[in-house]
C-alpha cells in the first residue's frame, strides 16, 4: 500500500462547516448572563501560535460562553468558576487565555480563563453529550466505563475528517455506532425519514423513541477526563522561565538518559513532572532554542512542556504529569495480562496521531520509542521528549557514532549512515515502536548489537513477524521499514490505517433501519 490519502477523504481540510449557525440560540438568559458591552474580540493573533485544536474554531459571534468544567484560578489574574457558569468573553488577543467577565456579584468577576474550558452558549461544543475529537475506539472505551447506563450516548466529530459526526450508544451490552448525515441546509438525520434542524433536536427526538436505534438516547456519556489548562497558568504562557523555588519534588519517578524525573508540585498545588538534567549534559543555549519551539507544539497526544528553570544548573524541564509512566515499562508490566491487540492498535494510533501533528509542523522527533511515550489515565498515550535528542548525548541505548550517540536499533539506516534525519526516519522508528507494542516491550533484534542489526538490514533483513502479531499489522511495520524513505507511509496515513484497523465499510456503522422497508 502506498501513501494514499485518508479513506473517503474529501480533501476539505480547513473548510469547517458552520455548525453553530444551525444550532438554536438560547433566547433567554439566566441570572448569570450579563449584557455585552465594549467587547474586544481580536481575530488577529500575533502572540503565540493559536492552539491547533482551535485553529478552525470560529471567532465568537455570540460572546456569552458557558464553562464546560470547573476551574480554580491559579494566580490573581485568573478567574475561578464552576461548570455551567456563564461568562462574557471580552478579549481573545491571547491565543490560549481569554479575558472573561462573570456576572456574579461576589468575588472576582473579571480575569483570564483557559480557552479550552469554555464554549459558546448553545453551541454543539457546550452540549454534555458532545465529545469533540473522540475516535470510535475511544468512544467505546468511554461508554463502557462504570457509571454509564443502557442508553448512555455521545456524539463525536472525527478529528481527521472535520465536519463528520457519529453517534455512539451503549445498548447495555455493546456500543453501537451510527453516522449522522448532513443536509445541504445544515440539518442532520440518521434515517431520511426523520430530519432535524439541529443536533439538539435530533438528540431530543431519539431521547423519546428508539425508531430504529438500538435504544433511546437517555443519558450523556460520563465525562471523566478534565482537560489540562494549556499552560501552568496565564502568567507562564509567555514567561515560562519559572522560579525553581516554586517547585517541590515529591517522588522520584525514574532515571532517564539525561537525568532524574520527579513527580512534584508547582506552587504547592499543581501536579507536574520535573525533569532534572545532569549537569553538563547539554548546552543551555541549544536547549533553550529547542524548548522555545517545543513550548508552542500543542496536541492532545504530545506531552505539554509547561516551563523551564535554566538560570542555574541543574536545568529543570517542567511538563504535564502522566500517571502511569513510560509505555515501555507499562507494556512489560502487563506482558499480555490485560492488554490485547485492539488496545495495542489504539496505542499505536494515538502515537501516530501525535506524530502526524509533528509531521504537519515539519518537526523531527529523532528518538521515537516506547521509552519516550508516556501513559496517562483512561488509556491515553502521549509522545514525550520530542526535540531533546538534538541537544543531548546519552548512554547505553544510544550507541556511539563518531562524536554523537544514537539509539541504533530505532534509527533508520540512512540516518545512521548519512545523518539524514527526516520525518521518514521517524516513520522507521515508529515501525520499531509498533514491534515494541505488540511484543510487550521486547528489545528489537535480540542477540544483535545495533551495529550488527544495521549490517543485516542493509542486506535486506527485517525483523520477522512476532508470533502474536496479526498479518495486517506486520504489513504496516514493513511499510515503515521500506529501504527507500520516500516510499514509507506518512504519519497521517499511519494514523488512519490504525484508527480504521477494525473497521470495514460494511460493518462499521449501523443503519437505524426500522423504516427501511
Ligand atoms: P526520561 O528521562 O524521559 O527517559 O524519563 C525517565 C522515566 O521517568 C520514564 O521512563 C518515566 O517512567 C518517568 N517519566 C518521565 N516523564 C514523565 C512524566 N511527564 N510523567 C510521569 N512520568 C514520567
Question: 374 C-alpha to center of ligand 1: Å?
Answer: 7
Q: Is 5 within the bounds of a domain? A: no
158 and 145 in contact (C-beta within 8 Å)? no
Say which DSSP state 263 is in.
Answer: E
pLDDT at 10: 33
Q: Is 103 within the bounds of a domain? A: yes
**Domain co-membership, 429 together with 298:** no
pLDDT at 233: 93
Sign of CA dihedral 205, 209, 213, 219: positive
How many domains does one find in the chain? Answer: 4
Residue 148 sits at the vertex; the CA angle it makes with 147 and 154, to the nearest 5 degrees, is 140
For the beta carbon of residue 109, count every other beta carbon within 10 angstroms. Answer: 14
**Domain co-membership, 481 together with 334:** yes
Which residues lie with the beta carbon below 6 Å from any ligand 1 atom? 253-254, 256-258, 261, 273, 303, 319, 321-322, 325-326, 329, 371, 374, 384-385
pLDDT at 406: 78
Q: Is 302 within the bounds of a domain? A: yes
Among protein residues, the one with the nearest Cα to ligand 1's atom 8 is: 254
Known binding site for ATP: residues? 275
Q: Is 402 within the bounds of a domain? A: yes
Q: Give the H/E segment covering residue 170.
A: strand 165-170
**Domain co-membership, 343 together with 476:** yes
Cell of residue 252, nine digits: 522520584
Q: Is 440 within the bounds of a domain? A: yes
Among protein residues, the one with the nearest Cα to ligand 1's atom 5 is: 256
Query: What CATH number is associated with residue 119?
Result: 2.30.30.40
Query: What CATH number is associated with residue 292?
Result: 3.30.200.20
DSSP assignments along 54-74, one per residue: GTTPPPPSS-EEEESS-B--S
Q: Is 62 within the bounds of a domain? A: yes
Q: Please report where in the chains the cell 506486520 appears, as a residue.
A: 474
Collect the ranges in the chain with pLDDT lower than 50: 1-60, 393-400, 403, 505-507, 514-517
Residue 369 sits at the vertex; the CA angle it makes with 364 and 370, to the nearest 5 degrees, is 140
Question: 169 C-alpha to center of ligand 1: Å?
Answer: 36
Pocket test for ligand 1, best of 258, 330, 374, 393 (most atoms within 8 A of CB): 374
Cell of residue 492, nine digits: 497521517
Global pTM reads 0.80
Query: What CATH number is associated with residue 191?
Result: 3.30.505.10
Average pLDDT, the chain: 82
pLDDT at 62: 59
**Domain co-membership, 140 together with 188:** yes
pLDDT at 472: 96
**Domain co-membership, 297 together with 202:** no
Report the distance separating Cα 256 and Cα 242, nearest Å: 22
**Domain co-membership, 116 together with 188:** no
pLDDT per residue as tens digits for the range 392-416: 544 434 444 554 567 899 999 999 9
Domain boundary among 319, 352, 375: 319
Report the distance separating Cα 405 and Cα 409, nearest Å: 12
**Domain co-membership, 418 together with 286:** no
Question: 113 C-alpha to center of ligand 1: Å?
Answer: 29
Sign of CA dihedral 141, 232, 42, 49: negative
pLDDT per residue as tens digits for the range 423-460: 999 999 999 999 999 999 999 999 999 999 999 999 99
**Domain co-membership, 472 together with 332:** yes
Pocket test for ligand 1, best of 250, 254, 277 (most atoms within 8 A of CB): 254
**Region label for 154, one of left (φ > 0), alpha (ψ between -120 and 50) or beta (otherwise):** beta
485 and 335 in contact (C-beta within 8 Å)? no
Closest Cα partner for 399 from 376, 415, 420? 415
pLDDT at 359: 93
Q: Where do runs of H (alpha helix) occur along 120-264?
A: 136-143, 199-208
pLDDT at 137: 79
Among protein residues, the one with the nearest Cα to ligand 1's atom 6 is: 256
Give the residue numbers annotated as catalytic, written as ranges.
367
Q: What domain range includes position 151?
A: 129-222
Amino acid at each position: 500500500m502506498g501513501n494514499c490519502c485518508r479513506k473517503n477523504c474529501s480533501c476539505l481540510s480547513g473548510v469547517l462547516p458552520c455548525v453553530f449557525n444551525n444550532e438554536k440560540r438560547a433566547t433567554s438568559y439566566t441570572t448569570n448572563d450579563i449584557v455585552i458591552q465594549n467587547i474586544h474580540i481580536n481575530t488577529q493573533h500575533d502572540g503565540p501560535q493559536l492552539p491547533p485544536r482551535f485553529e478552525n474554531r470560529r471567532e465568537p459571534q455570540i460572546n456569552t460562553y458557558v464553562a464546560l468544567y470547573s476551574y480554580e484560578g491559579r494566580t490573581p489574574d485568573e478567574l475561578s468558576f464552576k461548570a455551567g457558569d456563564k461568562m462574557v468573553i471580552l478579549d481573545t488577543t491571547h491565543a490560549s487565555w481569554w479575558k472573561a467577565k462573570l456576572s456574579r456579584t461576589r468575588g472576582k468577576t473579571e480575569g483570564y480563563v483557559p480557552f479550552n474550558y469554555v464554549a459558546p452558549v448553545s453551541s454543539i461544543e457546550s452540549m454534555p453529550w458532545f465529545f469533540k475529537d473522540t475516535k470510535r475506539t475511544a468512544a467505546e472505551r468511554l461508554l463502557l466505563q462504570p457509571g454509564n447506563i443502557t442508553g448512555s450516548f455521545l456524539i463525536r466529530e472525527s478529528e481527521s475528517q472535520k465536519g463528520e459526526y457519529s453517534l455512539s450508544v451503549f445498548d447495555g451490552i455493546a456500543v453501537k455506532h451510527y453516522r449522522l448525515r448532513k443536509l445541504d441546509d445544515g440539518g442532520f438525520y440518521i434515517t431520511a425519514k426523520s430530519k432535524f434542524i439541529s443536533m439538539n433536536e435530533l438528540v431530543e427526538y431519539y431521547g423519546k423513541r428508539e425508531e430504529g436505534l438500538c435504544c433511546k438516547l437517555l443519558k450523556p456519556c460520563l465525562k471523566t477526563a478534565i482537560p489540562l489548562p494549556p499552560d501552568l497558568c496565564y502568567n507562564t504562557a509567555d514567561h515560562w522561565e519559572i522560579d525553581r523555588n516554586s517547585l517541590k519534588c515529591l517522588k522520584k519517578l525514574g532515571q532517564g538518559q539525561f537525568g532524574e524525573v520527579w513527580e512534584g508540585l508547582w506552587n504547592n498545588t499543581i501536579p507536574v513532572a520535573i525533569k532534572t538534567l545532569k549537569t553538563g549534559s547539554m548546552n543551555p543555549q541549544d536547549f533553550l532554542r529547542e524548548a522555545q519551539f517545543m513550548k508552542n507544539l500543542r496536541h492532545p497526544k504530545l506531552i505539554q512542556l509547561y516551563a523551564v528553570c535554566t538560570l542555574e544548573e541543574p536545568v529543570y524541564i517542567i511538563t504535564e504529569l502522566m500517571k502511569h509512566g513510560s509505555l515501555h515499562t507499562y507494556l512489560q508490566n502487563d506482558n499480555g495480562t490485560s492488554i490485547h491487540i485492539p488496545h495495542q492498535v489504539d496505542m499505536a494510533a494515538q502515537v501516530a496521531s501525535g506524530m502526524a501533528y509533528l509531521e504537519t509542523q515539519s518537526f523531527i522527533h529523532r528518538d521515537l520509542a516506547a521509552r519516550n511515550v508516556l501513559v496517562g489515565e483512561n488509556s491515553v498515550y502521549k509522545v514525550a521528549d520530542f526535540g531533546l535528542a538534538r541537544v543531548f548525548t546519552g548512554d547505553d541505548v544510544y550507541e556511539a557514532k563518531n562524536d554523537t550517540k544514537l539509539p541504533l536499533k530505532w534509527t533508520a539506516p540512512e540516518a545512521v549512515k548519512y545523518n539524514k534525519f527526516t520525518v521518514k526516519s521517524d516513520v522507521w522508528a515508529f515501525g520499531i515502536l509498533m514491534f515494541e507494542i505488540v511484543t510487550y516491550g521486547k528489545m528489537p533484534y535480540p542477540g544483535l548489537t545495533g551495529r550488527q542489526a544495521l549490517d543485516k538490514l542493509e542486506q535486506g533483513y527485517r525483523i520477522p513477524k512476532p508470533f502474536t502479531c496479526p498479518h495486517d499489522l506486520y504489513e504496516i511495520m514493513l511499510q515503515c521499514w521500506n529501504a527507500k524513505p520516500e516510499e514509507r507511509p506518512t504519519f497521517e496515513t499511519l494514523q488512519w490505517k490504525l484508527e480504521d484497523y477494525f473497521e470495514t465499510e460494511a460493518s462499521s456503522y449501523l443503519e437505524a433501519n426500522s423504516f427501511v422497508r
